[in-house]
Amino acid sequence: MTTGEIADALKLTAQLMELHEENPFKIKSIANAAFKLDKTDIDLEGKNREELEQIEGIGKSIAAKIHELQTTNGLKELSAMLEKTPVGVIEMLRIKGIGPKKVGQLWRELEIESVGELLYACNENRLVTLKGFGAKTQEAVKKQIEFFQSNIGKFHYASVEKFAMDLVQELKKQYETELVSLTGAMRRKSEIIDMIEILLATDKAESKTEIENVRNVKVKLIFCAADQFYSKLFETTATPEHLSKLSGPASHISHLISHIYSSEEEIYSSAGLQYIEPELREGLNEVSLAKENKIPKLIELNDLKGILHNHSTYSDGLHSLKDMAVYCKELGYEYLGICDHSQSAFYANGLKPERVMEQHKEIEALNAELAPFKILKGIESDILNDGSLDYPEEVLKTFDFIVASVHSNLKMTEEKATARILKAVENPYTTILGHPTGRLLLSRPGYPIDHKKIIDACAANNVIVELNAHPYRLDIDWRWIQYCMEKGVKISINPDAHEKEGYHDMYFGVCAARKGMLTKEMCFNSMTLMEIENHLGKK
């Protein structure tokens, strides 16, 4: 091992020892030695333990560790700590602004085990009230994580959309043409993006492709002749599976795109198909539905009449209940569902029964002030480990509606997770099943569930399924929306907003909903306030 590699190993050893709250004097000694080796050009190669001990700042204990690293390429003490530390927690040590003590605190007190979970916790203001943190630290951590993740190569659609759109506008100016468009996964609005693809047509250009990194994002420019723009846009937007199902043999697709078209609608029409929106061109069942003219009118953002599942300063939100309500009204919505965390979510300042009553009084006062706009009394009730809802019945019955969600004990088998959620769905007080798998895109896959069993149970118990619109969640996965609709289960597009600006995530929820062919009629919060209240009254 080189001196640099030995320094890194000692540094990690010191960090993990601090994380696990071991002897501080020993930690300081190892950390100092690692720092010294990292900053000097000391050649350790060939030195025996006695010679190592003579180096300034290296005593017997550190010399023994260096010798072990040199002779075995490892350190038993380090290996033992690595075994008992989640990989994601070790990754968190790479984030500037939080040392091992703070990482340990986040791990033990908030059960955060990955960088992605930590970023989500920042967005939910979980760090603000944690001892030793605060708003400034939280914001600094958030920025560092975003920088850290920008180097991985995969991005949430929401994090690159504006940059991609701006790039399209810039290219239109540069090449003096309107024939510039996003294409590929960006145009299909896939939830995860590893490349921005842009199609650009000019009369001067021959067909060619250029790939480069711009702001750490891979950008692929595809050039074509102007008269081939729409056929090329059609070809590059779709997945290979979509093209295959659309056209059959490869020779047929070549024939289809060899013509000159003035729009993509013409292409689908020439193939005898109903037009298929870009978001749907994944190669699932959209082509077979288009053959029978059965693709429904997809939901649009302006179809939504209200915003459900939001948080305020009563639990872990950034803005007051009044601020959240006023801004919701200003955006043109008819109603706001406030769903602060329930009492078991102590990490999120969950509401004890007396604070529930306090909030309900404020809601009633605000409703009198803001009418006809209305705040609906909701709660995000934790689904406890045994599947029951947080709070006794006398508290549950005071809410207008309840979003039931799993937040703790996430490491479950499919059998356990499914049984736990089924019990919550069967609870007569459950209105909406919140983020059904608990996933965090690019960070946490979510617990495994039997989607069909759970959706069937929602149908049987008149429970709505949430499509959590936060770009890190988008949960329920859009691939299950058609099954929900087949079973008569409505979808509620909820932003899970922890601040006013979080309402704008509704757009990303609609993007995902459209991929799942959600219609206005099957979206719960496309209902008017009167329709919503009627539904809740029957429930």
Which of 257, 291, 325 delimits the end of a domain? 291
Beta bridge partners of 433: 404, 465
* pLDDT 10s digits, 78-122: 999 999 999 999 999 988 778 999 999 999 999 999 998 999 999
Give the strand order in the sheet containing 401-405.
Answer: 306-310, 335-338, 374-382, 401-405, 432-433, 464-468, 491-494
- Looking at residue 181, what is its pLDDT? 98
Which of 150, 166, 181 delimits the end of a domain? 150
What is the C-alpha separation between 387 and 418, in angstroms, rounded? 10
| 164, two tokens | 């991609």
User: Which secondary-structure segment (H or E) carries 52?
Assistant: helix 49-53
Residues 533 and 453 occupy one common structural domain? yes
Mean pLDDT of 412-432: 97
Residues 17 and 125 occupy one common structural domain? yes
Does residue 467 carry a pLDDT above 90?
Answer: yes
Query: Is the residue at 84 inside a domain?
Result: yes
Residues 230 and 359 occupy one common structural domain? no
What is the C-alpha separation between 262 and 269, in angstroms, rounded? 12
Does residue 454 carry a pLDDT above 70?
Answer: yes
Mean pLDDT of 17-46: 85
Classify residue 459 by burial, with Cβ atoms within 10 Å: 0-12, 13-18, 19+.
middle
- Looking at residue 523, what is its pLDDT? 98
pLDDT, mean over the chain: 92
Query: Is the residue at 350 inside a domain?
Result: yes
Residues 283 and 306 occupy one common structural domain? no
Residues 244 and 354 occupy one common structural domain? no
Residues 264 and 192 occupy one common structural domain? yes
Which of 258, 291, 324 delimits the end of a domain? 291
Query: Is the residue at 176 inside a domain?
Result: yes
- Looking at residue 378, what is its pLDDT? 98
* pLDDT 10s digits, 392-402: 999 999 999 99
Does residue 41 carry a pLDDT above 80?
Answer: no
DSSP secondary structure, 21-50, as one string: T--HHHHHHHHHHHHHHHHS----TT--HH
Residues 167 and 107 occupy one common structural domain? no
Q: Residue 477: give the domain boundaries.
A: 301-538
* pLDDT 10s digits, 129-143: 888 888 888 988 998
Question: Beta-carbon neighbour count of residue 529 at 10 Å?
Answer: 16
Mean pLDDT of 346-354: 92
Query: Is the residue at 319 inside a domain?
Result: yes
Query: Is the residue at 296 inside a domain?
Result: no
Mean pLDDT of 143-169: 88
* pLDDT 10s digits, 205-262: 667 788 888 888 999 999 999 999 999 999 999 999 999 888 655 556 676 777 899 9
What's 272's domain CATH number?
3.30.460.10
In the chain, what are the helix, strand and coil shares in percent, each to the nearest 5? 50, 15, 35
Q: Tell me the percentage of the chain whose pLDDT exceeds 70.
A: 97
Does residue 329 carry a pLDDT above 90?
Answer: yes
Does residue 16 carry a pLDDT above 80?
Answer: yes
What's 463's domain CATH number?
3.20.20.140
What is the C-alpha separation between 77 and 537, in angstroms, rounded? 61
Query: Is the residue at 64 inside a domain?
Result: yes
Residues 487 and 429 occupy one common structural domain? yes
- Looking at residue 462, what is its pLDDT? 97
Domain total in the chain: 3
Residues 120 and 195 occupy one common structural domain? no
Residues 327 and 268 occupy one common structural domain? no
Does residue 55 carry a pLDDT above 90?
Answer: no
Query: Is the residue at 509 inside a domain?
Result: yes
Does residue 40 carry a pLDDT above 70?
Answer: no
Does residue 57 carry a pLDDT above 90?
Answer: no
Residues 286 and 308 occupy one common structural domain? no
* pLDDT 10s digits, 269-281: 998 999 999 999 9
Mean pLDDT of 36-54: 78
What's 99's domain CATH number?
1.10.150.110
* pLDDT 10s digits, 476-506: 999 999 999 999 999 999 999 999 999 999 9
Give the strand order in the sheet containing 217-224.
Answer: 180-183, 196-201, 217-224, 208-214
Residues 176 and 308 occupy one common structural domain? no
Mean pLDDT of 401-429: 96
Phi, psi of 123 (to 5 degrees): -65, -25
